[in-house]
């Protein structure tokens, strides 16, 4: 672990710099291109990004899909309540399985509302369609809720698409609108389970992806289901901050794409967003643990990596990145598995050595956030300040619906 003063990662973010709505056309957002080796910054448009990503390299994206996880409910007394579904518990911890459920399911939720006790049944509905949520466990505002509905022809995914709302970030001070259903979702979103978008991917359009493909740039897709913990600031001490746990799912086929890129003489990987980078880096440490015989199981609810694990290893007992991904592939083959699945709490902070990516596409993040620490670790402890000052002085839009940056190490 490293001694870090969180106040070094504070800056003044005026409210008018926070984007309340997306730009009209996804790929017309601004793109700040930063070159770490030269401490150079360029101001472009996102639809020019293909000019900066090397030919025949690899783009890694997070194909998670945001669910309409915010449910407006009513107490038996008629008073208002709210549930934000954050992670499934039953009949599976895999959101894909739970979203297709047609009877009942159990979720961990964030509860809003007053005087709501364990055992209470909340209700929501539209016409004849009714949803019931029994609070079966309550710890502060975190609850375990058993959710049932009165139409077993509907899957849970269909149900919440009818009754739920897109859970916009807390710093967007408006209700979710119809356009958010499409715009708070990437064009490659596929696997349902996030309560927040992997926002770096929001700028991509089919045209941008086509131009990248024409340059021989291949795409690897992985899934990190983004949880609400991504918005939690670091209050005081970096060392005592409890990193949120998020589910990752990466198929053997996609890991092979990464391994093939790493096998080149000059590999180049561009990570789309902090979630893709956290997944890539988590995979590196999973491969190291496999190589060292320290990973003995891989179930969907396994904690694959705790937040401080990487900091326990010295340079003398790590392996190169290619060898790590080779170990993962050998493990999957030997155990007849088609994917790596589990949870990561990886905390990337200044002093951490990036193992996987050469470039990072990312939006502009909150002061004193874990995401800003990750950016600093990636591009340089001092250079991030120059980048953010430039963005603030050049009318860039910040946070989830804001503009983008391409950080090249």
Instruction: Say whether pLDDT at 22 is over 60.
Output: yes
Burial 69-106 (b: 16+ CB within 10 A, else e): bbbebebeeeeebbbbbbbbbeebbbbbebbebeeebb
- Give residues with Cβ within 8 angstroms of 401, minimum separation 6: 19, 20, 21, 22, 23, 172, 183, 184, 199, 202
Please provide the DSSP assignment of 99-139 as one string: HT-SSEEEEEEEEESSS--TT-EEEEEETTEEEEEEEEEEE
pLDDT of residue 139: 92
pLDDT in tens, 324-340: 999 999 999 999 999 99
pLDDT in tens, 234-287: 887 888 888 888 999 999 999 999 999 999 999 999 999 999 999 999 999 999
pLDDT in tens, 345-374: 999 999 999 999 999 999 999 999 999 999
pLDDT in tens, 74-132: 999 999 999 999 999 999 999 989 999 998 999 999 999 999 999 999 999 888 899 99
pLDDT of residue 50: 97
Confidence of residue 3 (pLDDT cuts 50, 70, 90): confident
Superfamily of domain 6-65+184-408: QueA-like (3.40.1780.10)
pLDDT of residue 235: 80
Please provide the DSSP assignment of 334-383 as one string: HTT-SEEEEEE-----TT----S-SEEEEE---TTBHHHHHHHHHH-TTH
Of all residues in the chain, the percent with pLDDT exceeding 70 is 99
Mean pLDDT value of segment 150-160 = 92
Mean pLDDT value of segment 380-392 = 95
How far is residue 328's CA from residue 307's CA, in Å, rounded to a whole number? 20
pLDDT of residue 66: 95
Instruction: Say whether pLDDT at 298 is over 80.
Output: no
Confidence of residue 227 (pLDDT cuts 50, 70, 90): confident
Mean pLDDT value of segment 290-314 = 85
Mean pLDDT value of segment 170-187 = 92
pLDDT of residue 1: 57
Domain ranges of the chain: 6-65+184-408, 69-164
Instruction: Say whether pLDDT at 233 is over 90.
Output: no
How far is residue 304's CA from residue 306's CA, in Å, rounded to a whole number? 7
Of all residues in the chain, the percent with pLDDT exceeding 90 is 84
- Give residues with Cβ within 8 angstroms of 46, minimum separation 6: 26, 27, 28, 29, 30, 31, 203, 208, 403, 404
pLDDT in tens, 42-52: 999 999 999 99
φ and ψ at residue 210, rounded to 5 degrees: -65, -40
* CA-based torsion, 183, 142, 224, 319: positive or negative: positive
Instruction: Say whether pLDDT at 17 is over 90.
Output: yes
Mean pLDDT value of segment 1-10 = 85
- The rounded mean pLDDT for the chain is 93
Confidence of residue 315 (pLDDT cuts 50, 70, 90): confident
């Amino acid at each position: 672990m490293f001694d870090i003063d969180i106040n070094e990662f504070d800056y003044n973010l005026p409210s008018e710099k926070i984007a309340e709505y997306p730009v009209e056309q996804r790929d017309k957002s601004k793109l700040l291109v930063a070159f770490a080796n030269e401490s150079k910054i360029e101001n472009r448009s996102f639809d020019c990004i293909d000019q900066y990503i090397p030919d025949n390299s690899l783009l890694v994206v997070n194909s998670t899909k945001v669910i309409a996880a915010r449910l407006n409910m009513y107490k038996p007394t008629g008073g208002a309540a709210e549930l934000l579904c954050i992670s499934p518990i039953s009949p599976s911890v895999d959101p894909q399985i739970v979203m297709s459920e047609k009877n009942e399911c159990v979720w961990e939720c964030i509860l809003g509302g007053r005087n709501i006790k364990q055992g209470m049944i909340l209700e929501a509905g539209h016409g004849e369609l009714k949803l019931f949520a029994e609070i079966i466990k309550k710890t502060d505002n975190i609850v375990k809720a058993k959710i049932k509905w009165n139409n077993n022809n509907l899957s849970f995914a269909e149900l919440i698409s009818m009754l739920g709302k897109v859970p916009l970030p807390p710093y967007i001070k408006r209700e979710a609108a119809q356009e958010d259903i499409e715009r708070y979702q990437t064009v490659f979103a596929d696997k349902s389970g996030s309560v927040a978008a992997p926002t770096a991917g929001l700028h991509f359009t089919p045209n941008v992806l086509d131009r990248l493909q024409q340059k021989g740039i291949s795409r690897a897709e992985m899934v990190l289901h983004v949880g609400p913990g991504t918005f939690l600031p670091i209050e005081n001490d970096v060392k005592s901050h409890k990193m949120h746990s998020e589910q990752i799912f990466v198929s053997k086929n996609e890991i092979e794409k990464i391994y093939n890129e790493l096998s080149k003489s000059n590999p180049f990987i561009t990570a789309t967003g902090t979630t893709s980078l956290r997944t890539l880096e988590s995979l590196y440490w999973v491969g190291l643990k496999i190589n060292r015989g320290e990973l003995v199981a891989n179930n969907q609810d396994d904690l694959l990596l705790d937040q401080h694990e990487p900091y326990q290893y010295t340079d003398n007992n790590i392996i190169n990145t290619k060898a790590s991904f080779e170990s993962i592939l050998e493990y999957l083959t030997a155990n007849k598995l088609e994917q790596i699945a589990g949870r990561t709490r990886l905390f990337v902070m200044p002093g951490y050595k990036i193992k996987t990516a050469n470039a990072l596409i990312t939006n502009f993040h909150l002061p004193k956030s874990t995401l800003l620490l990750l950016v600093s670790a990636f591009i340089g402890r001092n250079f991030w300040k120059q980048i953010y000052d430039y963005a603030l002085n050049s009318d860039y839009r910040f946070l989830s619906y804001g503009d983008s940056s391409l950080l090249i190490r």
